[in-house]
Amino acid sequence: MLLMVTCGIDWAEKHHDIALVDEAGKLVAKRRISDDADGWRALVDLLAEHGDHPGDPIPVAIETGRGLLVSCLRATGRKVYAINPPAVARYRERHTVARSKSDHADAMTLANILRVDADHHRPMPADSELVQAITVLARAQQDAVWNRQQLANQLRSLLREYFPAALTAFHVKNIGLTSREARAVLQAAPTPTAAAQLTTRRLHALLRSSGRQRNIDTWTERLQTLFRQEHLRQLPLVEQALGRQAQALLLQLDAACRAADQLADATSQAFGQHPDAAIITSFPGLADLTGARVLAELGDDRTRFADARALKAYAGAAPITRASGKSLVVHHRKVKNQRLAAAGYVWAFASLRAPGPRAHYDRRRAEGDRHSSALRNTFNRMLGCLHHCLHKGATYNEHVAFPPRSKATA
């Protein structure tokens, strides 16, 4: 597909280089604009001078899919192509072997990519404003969860150095170092010496202030017993210094936990307003938060994926085949949307409570798949069902998604 005029933008922090080329690859305009409102007006005027109008906007290629400039370009309704920088580097080598590089040359390379290979690149989806907001919240919440776990791992590693009783005390189902009880108690008594001096009344008050309402007396007695048992100890000054370090980590962990909880509430609230929420949450294993993560990565532009196979490849659920001569090797995909793949693992694992996904998982395990491979195959199957339901506007039906297998088929 040949386009009349294409635009390439070499993005930078303070300025952007613009290049417009015609269907023959001839440069028709170039300009450097600032990263502000004046620069945006200059870009709009430059595009308008060369045939840009609402009915047929000039497509734009840029090396990033984020930022105010990209957001404004998408708001105009034009096709915006976010080209991977390594791919741009390979295109650049088609025209020069000296490895010369400049901002203007990169802008021209981007414009020429659209001129000759627009059909081989996918434009950014035309998602609604609501789903873009859900994407921001869901990704921020996922980052907060990862940050929370990283801080919890650091705290656990530190406590092993001088306070193993704390690890034993909070190594309980649904209770860990990220729990409110653990944060409250360890903040008040970050060392074995301080923990052993906690009275029954003080422990009772700490647990109640953390929000715990049940089994407070049982927990108080258990913690007091563990903290007063004999353990290996560091030297007093070293122990005190390690306690200060633990308190600093606890402050960061407490902030990360609060941020994750607040973002989870905001994400669930925004997700509930989207019309696709009812379809997504009808699937086993998908609740408000996991459903929001899936919707954030899929978007609500129905033309984004040509078919279910493209969606599965994007999520990394479909295998990739490398064939050369007599060699044929099938691998799982490593280049994928990592956020969607992470949400898919949780989704597939949680869906095993339903009879259909469980039977499919057990069948894959019986055929020799390992746990991760069987889960990935289950995620692959569920993604295909989700793609169908979103396009048809139908909710999940297990009898259609996982029909019973006949003995002959088995």
**Same domain as 119, residue 242:** no
309, 313, 315, 318 alpha-carbon torsion, rounded to 10°: 80
Domain ranges, residue 333: 278-401
Q: Which are the contacts of 114, defined by CB distance < 8 A and separation ≥ 6?
A: 3, 6, 7, 8, 59, 60, 61, 81, 121
Q: What does the alpha-carbon distance between residue 350 and residue 370 come to, in Å, rounded to a whole number?
A: 17
> Across residues 205-214, what is the average pLDDT?
91
Q: Is 335 within the bounds of a domain?
A: yes
Query: Last residue of a domain, which of 124, 142, 171?
Result: 124
**Same domain as 208, residue 164:** yes
Per the structure, how many domains does the chain have? 3
pLDDT of 3 over the 70 cut:
no
**Same domain as 223, residue 138:** yes
Alpha carbon 234 to chain centroid, angstroms:
41
Per-residue pLDDT tens for 247-291? 999 999 999 999 999 999 999 999 999 999 999 999 999 999 999
* SS3 label, residue 170: coil
Provide the pLDDT for residue 2.
46
> Across residues 333-358, what is the average pLDDT?
93
> Across residues 378-389, what is the average pLDDT?
95
Q: What does the alpha-carbon distance between residue 76 and residue 244 come to, in Å, rounded to a whole number?
A: 53
Q: Is 63 within the bounds of a domain?
A: yes
Provide the pLDDT for residue 101.
79
pTM of the model: 0.86
Q: What does the alpha-carbon distance between residue 85 and residue 88 come to, in Å, rounded to a whole number?
A: 5
**Same domain as 326, residue 266:** no
**Same domain as 97, residue 12:** yes
* SS3 label, residue 7: strand
CATH number at residue 93: 3.30.420.10
Q: What does the alpha-carbon distance between residue 82 and residue 379 come to, in Å, rounded to a whole number?
A: 27
**Same domain as 285, residue 229:** no
Neighbouring-strand partners of residue 15:
34
Q: Which are the contacts of 258, defined by CB distance < 8 A and separation ≥ 6?
A: none
Give the position of tokens 């064939």.
323
Per-residue pLDDT tens for 396-410? 999 888 988 764 454
**Same domain as 146, residue 228:** yes
Each as own residue / partner, the long-range contacts of residues 303-312 (CB below 8 Å, 24 or more positions apart, any chain) are 303/125, 303/126, 304/122, 304/125, 305/387, 307/387, 308/383, 308/384, 308/387, 308/388, 311/383, 311/384, 311/387, 312/380, 312/383, 312/384
Q: Is 68 within the bounds of a domain?
A: yes
Per-residue pLDDT tens for 153-164? 999 999 999 999
Tokens, residue 364: 């894959």
Q: Is 346 within the bounds of a domain?
A: yes
Q: Residue 1's pLDDT band (boundaries 50, 70, 90)?
A: very low
**How do beta strands 60-62 and 80-82 pair?**
parallel
Q: Is 409 within the bounds of a domain?
A: no
Q: What is the mean pLDDT of the chain?
A: 91
Nearest of 299, 292, 295 to residue 263 by alpha carbon:
292
Nearest of 294, 323, 331 to residue 311 by alpha carbon:
294
Answer whether 287's CB lies under 8 Å from 272's CB.
no
**Same domain as 284, residue 264:** no
Query: Helix 129-162 and helix 288-298: axis angle, to 10°?
Result: 120
Answer whether 23's CB lies under 8 Å from 4's CB.
yes
- What end-to-end distance do the CA atoms of the chain give, in Å? 46
Helices (H), 228-333: 236-272, 277-281, 288-298, 308-315
Provide the pLDDT for residue 257.
95
Q: What does the alpha-carbon distance between residue 101 and residue 32 come to, in Å, rounded to a whole number?
A: 16
Q: Is 42 within the bounds of a domain?
A: yes
The phi, psi pair for 176, rounded to 5°, reads -140, -165
Q: Is 407 within the bounds of a domain?
A: no
Q: Is 406 within the bounds of a domain?
A: no
Nearest of 79, 117, 123, 111 to residue 9 by alpha carbon:
111
% of the chain surpassing 70 pLDDT: 98
Query: Last residue of a domain, which of 124, 153, 172?
Result: 124
pLDDT of 355 over the 70 cut:
yes
> Across residues 16-45, what is the average pLDDT?
92
Provide the pLDDT for residue 367.
93
**Same domain as 212, residue 137:** yes
DSSP label of 77:
T
* SS3 label, residue 30: strand
CA distances from 163 to 70, 103, 153, 226, 236 (A): 50, 55, 14, 11, 13
**Same domain as 159, residue 266:** yes
**Same domain as 385, residue 284:** yes
Query: Last residue of a domain, which of 105, 124, 143?
Result: 124
Per-residue pLDDT tens for 78-105? 999 999 888 888 888 877 766 777 888 8
Rg of the Cα trace of the chain? 28
**Same domain as 266, residue 147:** yes
